[in-house]
Amino acid sequence: MYRSAARRLLPTLLRRGGHSASRPFPVGVLSTSPFSTEATSGNLPNRNPNHFSSYTSPSPPSTASTSDEKTRSDEFQSHRAKARPKAHWQEEQARVLHASLRHVELCPYELMDFLICMVMIRLGWSDAAMIAGAREVGVSPSIVGSFPRKEAALVEFFMDDCLQRLIDVIDMKEDLQSLIPSQRVAKLVRIRLEMQAPYIFKWPQALSIQVQPWNIPTSLRQRTMLVDEIWHAAGYEATNSDWHAKRAVLAGIYSVVELYMLTDTSPDFQNTWAFMDRRIKDAFDFRKSVQEAKYLAEAVEAGIGSSLQGFARRIIHG
């Protein structure tokens, strides 16, 4: 399954990604171990091999269980508030970064046609886009010098902005409550990836920026927060004993679908969403073979230090 996706991915990214194709890309939110993150350390709890099939519809809660659930929810909201995106940007910097996003790739989602986009102005995730953004909001271009990692700041601002928008969707969409957990996960992963659609032709460059050694810590933190938000919205709490396994598997699925999307030429990424639905259904039904699980683990670890070519070679040749 992942072999065919990798065979399809490699030649297209080498053509489309240009210089960024020679660099590694982040396909997971985890550090050296597939089941550890910056936010968690120490001994890991025992993992339940049937962690995706263990979800059951809750029975009417007792007073004690309701109190426990409220406490866990309050703790999660407190953690979310402390990690609220974009808090570290000064107001003027945030204005410049927000305006800069309009100069990364001027290709509206409804005009997602390769030939049309090729003739449009595309500054990419670059200093040039940031300078254009500064000029747009009437700020001196010299402000770009206040960002120590420049283009990385632009990518990280976009990731933070997307996370905040997803949080708003989770907080406002009441229809999520009527969906079963696998449907909630699929819906939220799709909503999040659709936010990248207008930048799809420049997204390989963003991935190459995220995986640069000095940018990896922030990239891992941002992706960890994203996966945690999705799992929490699906009804799972960080206190569950199999939380780390869930986090790792969803990170792998998200990353594989993200890469598949880069090569998808179907209308409105229909093939991507079909691919995503199959992967999520497999994960919740726990139908993956041992070999498929191995490929998924490789996908998670590949984002830490392997190049695109090296990762694809391992998947293709086993």
When mean pLDDT is compared across 143-147, 151-155, 290-294, the lowest value belongs to 290-294
In percent, how much of the chain has pLDDT > 70?
56
Q: How confident is the model at residue 285 (pLDDT cuts 50, 70, 90)?
A: confident
What is the rounded (10 degree) CA torsion for 275, 191, 264, 52?
-20
Asked if residue 163 lies in contact with residue 177, where contact means CB atoms within 8 angstroms, the answer is no
Sequence-ordered alpha helix ranges (H) in 101-173: 114-118, 127-136, 151-172
CA angle 99, 105, 107 (to 5 degrees): 110
Q: How far is it, in rounded angstroms, from Cα 65 to Cα 290?
A: 36
| CB-based burial, 166-188: b 16+ in 10 Å, e otherwise | bbebbeeeeebeebebbbbbbbb
When mean pLDDT is compared across 58-62, 98-102, 257-261, the lowest value belongs to 58-62
Tell me the Cα Rg of the chain: 20
Tell me the mean pLDDT in the region 198-226.
94
Sequence-ordered alpha helix ranges (H) in the chain: 2-16, 63-82, 91-100, 114-118, 127-136, 151-172, 181-194, 203-210, 216-233, 243-262, 270-285, 290-305, 308-317
The amino acid occupying position 97 is L
Longest dimension (CA), the chain: 62
pLDDT digits (tens, 9 = 90+) for 117-131: 544 557 899 999 999
In percent, how much of the chain has pLDDT > 90?
44
Tell me the mean pLDDT in the region 257-284.
95
Tell me the mean pLDDT in the region 52-73.
46
Q: How confident is the model at residue 295 (pLDDT cuts 50, 70, 90)?
A: low
Q: What is the pLDDT of residue 173?
A: 77
* Positive or negative: CA dihedral 23, 24, 29, 31: negative
Q: Please name which of 35, 34, 56 lies closest in space to residue 46, comparing C-alpha atoms.
A: 35
Q: How far is it, in rounded angstroms, from Cα 188 to Cα 86?
A: 21
When mean pLDDT is compared across 176-190, 215-229, 275-289, the lowest value belongs to 275-289
Above 50 in pLDDT, residue 40?
Answer: no
Q: How confident is the model at residue 133 (pLDDT cuts 50, 70, 90)?
A: very high
Above 50 in pLDDT, residue 20?
Answer: no
- Give pTM, 2 decimals: 0.65
Asked if residue 247 lies in contact with residue 184, where contact means CB atoms within 8 angstroms, the answer is no
Q: What is the pLDDT of residue 244?
A: 82
When mean pLDDT is compared across 80-89, 215-224, 280-289, the lowest value belongs to 80-89
Q: What is the pLDDT of residue 169?
A: 92
Structure tokens at 134: 């500064």
When mean pLDDT is compared across 25-29, 75-79, 117-121, 127-131, the lowest value belongs to 25-29
Q: What is the pLDDT of residue 86?
A: 53
Q: How confident is the model at residue 284 (pLDDT cuts 50, 70, 90)?
A: confident
The three-class DSSP label of residue 24 is strand
Tell me the mean pLDDT in the region 259-277.
96
Tell me the mean pLDDT in the region 130-150.
92
**φ, ψ at 179 (rounded to 5°):** -95, 150
